[in-house]
Amino acid sequence: MMPKNRTLQIGQSVPRADAFKKVTGEEMYAADYYGKDLLWAGVKRAGIPHARIIGIHAEEASLLPGVVKVLTHRDIKGTNRQGVIRKDQPVLADERVRHAGDGLAMVIAEDRETLQKALDLITLDLEPLEAVLDPERAVMKDAPLIHDDNPGGNILLKGLIEKGDPDSALKKCDMTVEMSFRLPHQEHAYLETESGLAILKDDNRIEIIVSTQTPFRDRRETAEAVGIEEGRIRIIAPYCGGAFGGKDGINVQSLLALACLHCPGRPIKMWWSREESFLASCKRHPAVITCRLGASSDGLLQALDTEIVFDTGPYDHLGGAVMALGMEHACGPYRIPDVRISARAVYTNNPIGGAFRGFGVPQVAAAMEQMMDILAKKCGISPIEIRLLNAVAKGDKNPLGTTMTGSTGMLECLETLERDPAWTDREKWKAGAGPFKVRGTGIASAMHGMGYGPLIPDTANAKIELTRDGRFRVYSGVVDMGQGNASTCLQIAGDILNQEMTRMELVLPDTDRTLPSGSASASRTTYTFGNALIDAARILKERILNRISDMMMIKGAEEMALIPGAVRHLPSGKEISLADAARMMTGEERIVTSRFRAPVAGDAPTKDQALRIHGIPHTIFSYGAHLACVEIDELTGRVEVMKYVAVSDCGRIINPQIFQQQIQGGISQGIGYALYEDFIMDKGSILTKDLSTYIIPTALDIPDMKSIAVELPEHTGPFGLKGAGEIAIDAPLPAIANGIADACHVRIERFPLTPERILEALEKGQMRGDTA
Amino acid sequence: MKIGFKLNEKEIVIHVPPDKRAIDVLREDLGLTGAKEGCGSGECGACTILVDGESKLSCLMLAAQLEGREIATIEGLERDGIPHPIQEAFVEHGAVQCGFCTPGMILSTVDLLKQNPDPDREEIRKGLSGNLCRCTGYQKIVDAVEAGANKVNSTIKGPASKE
């Protein structure tokens, strides 16, 4: 570990800049802001999945002492619609309830007790409509429409990508496998539930401190929804207490802005309870995936035909984009000549499907990577062999037809994994299982595209300042939701400017102070912002050195060097402190901004403009090869992940510790997705309402994980980096499922693989697919 | 109701309703927002505080239960501006990501090490299994606790007693 008195350098495990204030409790999250004369705001939610709104009776509630306001859709002057692409989600429902978590009225009260009492006093007059709870039902002709104005009926978005002739290719294949998989909802379960504090100030502007991944987009969406000018809103985004995609989009923002317009001058706080968060927030999309995969007898893939149905719930949120990314990754990181990928994102009255780390890829990887294992077995080759045989490499066209021009380390990942002792010694390890226990090892590969795709500009604007007192201040435009990118910004700037962490400071995203830089999402954060920041820091460095060399009448900046806190003239050894240097520069000179836009793919696998807007195709991908070593208790059906190895190609690593954090965290959420996180619905109501019934992994459920990086440089990346935020969540589920199949010869199509499902499969001797 | 207790080494007296939750007293009345609320039902451990040295969930405690007790929150763990060895170990070993579970995790660790000064990795995992973390996968937390335990032990015993 690097001592504090060293300058920051790329490639070193520097402890995170944010860690110290987090361990002392000093760091303020959005949930930690209160304020003098505080008001509390809360929402009355529908509780039933589909209904016509006849009336909202709030008279009694509004008369309760301590209640300041009760607001409904009638109090909203703006569009009352939110959404990233299709704006179909009301701030407060107007005519229709579309899921149980829809809000119908907001109460603003002097304290929390009064708020709760008032919410209980509101009665809703709702005429129940048939709830559409199954995507299959949703697409039937006689199914009730969830949005009357959607041209596709209950289909939010559909897409078809075809290359070659998959039907005849599949007929000619020596080996084919066909199977369906059903993937469940997954709850983000960030520890900080949705929260914010807002105030309408004397200057008639609304300031919102909120736990969000998307401050600049929030500002625009909120302004439109409540009907005020965008410039009247300031969004301040502190470190999030976790987000994972769940705070990519509006939650409390518009509600708070609306509350402010009706209660000027007083701070208003909204903080969802855990149960409310489960009820009203978005989830990972459930999916049903049916595929046919064919190969020649030697294991060379020939054709894939896959059909994907995503349950997007009642609102787009980012459902169309999730579907598109799922389609783009449905073939996995393999060469397949003939493919058909058809997909639909379907509206239902279930909880909202939205962004969640992985963004459609964990679902399709679950299917494809299990199919690969089934096929390998049929062809009589090992799961690593079949993947090595078919892996995409740089220069290849991927199955969609995009040329892989960036670093493409799938083969390197697999080769590294193949050499790992956990793989080479697997038979010995498996033989060590105790009585009534069986062990298996499972492999899965993954690829993950980075950024927004071809049509939405993926840009970032960095800003850096030499402060008056000679320190460097980095204005981060992208939220740090826990992944450490803010600290990485300091490491990047510190390396270029040759400074220690203690001489640098950060300004976290704030629409008044930092520059628009897009969302903290899509594995893009450090790639896009980092590139912009490198440029800004280099320009500032050159500017300081030039300024000082002019001042000192020195031949040129090449004789000067930045050292911690000063500029040194190398031939003479003379130094000028950065504080003195700052005094010689104007305020404007001391600030540099720079913009970067991520590259897009040159070739187009689809002409479908809707799919392109939703992100197809990407051009830069990260890769991973994972190995799960699992033990199954044959008496209880319980699965334990005993060992785990992840090999990743995320380009060069700026901070190994932060990189490992991303990989280990992704694996853990993936283990939860595979084994524990059973999100149970009944007639549109969530039965697993909180963390006592929806089980996320504890310290006892996750093994020590080994994470290896194959550091192939990505030439467009900041110091050769590619995104690392999502790649690790794509492979754990299929790796574990393949491990279970290896141990006890069962394939289960419904996830998560709970002990009940495992036991049932063991009893039936279920061997779907593998023997088909 | 008047409630008196020792908070982070200082005697204090406050006037709050006896049925106000301890976490709300700490966060709203006393401005100590280091104790976090993640679930409000005792599942996540983010609100952990030390009551007479033992880790307790402040979301399940009422104000009246603070009476006469010695309470430590994450804000009180530093001594004379020097962080507790466990806090240092969490920073150094990368145990902090979003950090929302961190205060509770650290206070649970302090209690764990009091009961078992030299836990192995499995014992650490058991000891912290009541504190949920959604970011880390726990591995670096276990690393930090292992390393921190060594530091705590050497601080208590003094360098001379080290082997």
Tens of pLDDT, residues A518-550: 999 999 999 999 999 999 999 999 999 999 999
Q: Which is nearest to A22 in space by CA: B152, B134, B95?
A: B95
A681 pairs with which residues across the strands?
A686
Nearest Cα residue in chain B from A484: B97
pLDDT (mean) for A36-45: 98
What are A424-449's pLDDT values in tens digits? 999 999 999 999 999 999 999 999 99
Identify the H or E element spanning A287: strand A287-295
Across the interface, whether the CB atoms of B134 and A193 are under 8 A apart is answered no
CA-based nearest distance A356→chain B, Å: 13
Question: Nearest Cβ partner of A691 from B132, B133, B141?
Answer: B132
Which CATH fold would you assign to the domain A33-129+194-271? Aldehyde Oxidoreductase; domain 3 (3.90.1170)
Q: Which is nearest to A560 in space by CA: A539, A545, A577?
A: A545
CA-based nearest distance A275→chain B, Å: 8
pLDDT at A766 over 60: no
What are A76-94's pLDDT values in tens digits? 999 999 999 999 999 999 9
What are B63-109's pLDDT values in tens digits? 999 999 999 999 999 988 899 999 999 999 999 999 999 999 999 99
Across the interface, whether the CB atoms of A22 and B126 are under 8 A apart is answered no
What are A729-753's pLDDT values in tens digits? 999 999 999 999 999 999 999 999 9
Q: Does B29 touch chain A (CB under 8 A)?
A: no
- Please list the ranges in chain B whose pLDDT falls under 50: 159-163
A200 Cβ neighbours under 8 A, 6+ residues apart:
A206, A260, A261, A263, A264, A265
CATH number assigned to the domain with residue range A19-28+459-597, chosen from the 4 options 3.30.420.310, 2.60.40.10, 3.10.450.50, 3.30.365.10: 3.30.365.10
Across the interface, whether the CB atoms of B98 and A24 are under 8 A apart is answered no
State residue A650's pLDDT score.
98
Q: Which two tokens stand for residue A140?
A: 């039937």
Nearest Cα residue in chain B from A704: B139
Q: What domains appear along chain B, each with residue ranges and CATH number? A: 2-76 (3.10.20.30), 85-157 (1.10.150.120)
pLDDT at A196 over 70: yes
Q: Show contacts of A113-120: CB within 8 Å, 24+ apart.
A: A114/A64, A114/A65, A114/A66, A114/A67, A115/A40, A115/A41, A115/A42, A116/A42, A117/A64, A118/A61, A118/A62, A118/A64, A118/A67, A118/A70, A119/A42, A119/A43, A119/A44, A119/A61
**Test mutation, A191, A247, A481, chain B, max B CBs within 10 A:** A191
A44 pairs with which residues across the strands?
A105
On the CB side of A755, how many CA atoms lie within 13 Å of its CA?
10
Please, are residues A664 and A651 in contact by the beta-carbon 8 Å criterion? no
Cis peptide before A617 (omega within 30 of 0): yes
∠ CA A152-A158-A159, rounded to 5°: 145
B5 Cβ neighbours under 8 A, 6+ residues apart:
B11, B12, B66, B67, B68, B69, B70, B71
Angle between helix axes A732-744 and A361-379 (nearest 10 degrees) is 30
User: What 3-state DSSP class applies to A444?
Assistant: strand
Overall residue count recorded for chain B in this entry: 163
Q: Does A398 touch chain B (CB under 8 A)?
A: no
Q: Which two tokens stand for residue A107?
A: 């109460």
3-state helix vs strand vs coil in chain A, percent to 5: 30, 25, 45
Percent of chain A with pLDDT over 90: 97
State residue B160's pLDDT score.
46
Q: Which two tokens stand for residue B42?
A: 């005792």
Rounded to whole angstroms, how far apart are CA atoms B29 and A350?
39
What are A456-514's pLDDT values in tens digits? 999 999 999 999 999 999 999 999 999 999 999 999 999 999 999 999 999 999 999 99
Amino acid A609 reads Q
State residue B153's pLDDT score.
84
Q: Which is nearest to A725 in space by CA: A636, A673, A648?
A: A648
Rounded to whole angstroms, how far apart are CA atoms A81 and A485?
31
A466 pairs with which residues across the strands?
A472
Across the interface, whether the CB atoms of B44 and A27 are under 8 A apart is answered no
Q: Which is nearest to A358 in space by CA: A669, A652, A651, A708?
A: A669
Nearest Cα residue in chain A from B20: A113
Q: Which residues of B touch A3 (CB under 8 A)?
A: none
Mean pLDDT across chain A: 96
Q: Does A13 touch chain B (CB under 8 A)?
A: yes
Q: Which is nearest to A578 in space by CA: A552, A537, A541?
A: A541
Q: Which residues of B touch A484 (CB under 8 A)?
A: 97
CATH 3.40.50.300 fits A287-453+603-764, yes or no: no
- Domain parsing of chain A, residue ranges: 19-28+459-597, 33-129+194-271, 287-453+603-764
Q: Where are the beta strands (DSSP E) in A450-588?
A: 459-466, 472-475, 504-507, 560-563, 566-569, 575-577
DSSP string, A701-736: T---EEEEE-----TTSGGGB---SSHHHHSHHHHH
Q: Is-above-0.95 flag for pTM?
A: yes
State residue A4's pLDDT score.
66
Q: Please report, to the nearest 10 degrees, the dihedral formed by the alpha carbons of residues A201, A206, A210, A216 taken in order.
A: -140
Across the interface, whether the CB atoms of B74 and A23 are under 8 A apart is answered yes
pLDDT at A769 over 60: no
Q: Does A376 touch chain B (CB under 8 A)?
A: no
Rounded to whole angstroms, how far apart are CA atoms B50 and B71?
6
Q: Does B91 touch chain A (CB under 8 A)?
A: yes
pLDDT at A772 over 90: no
CA-based nearest distance A691→chain B, Å: 6
State residue A512's pLDDT score.
98
pLDDT at A3 over 70: no
Phi, psi of A325 (to 5 degrees): -65, -35
Across the interface, whether the CB atoms of A191 and B126 are under 8 A apart is answered no
B111 Cβ neighbours under 8 A, 6+ residues apart:
B50, B53, B54, B55
**In A174-267, which ranges are continuous DSSP H helix?**
215-226, 253-262
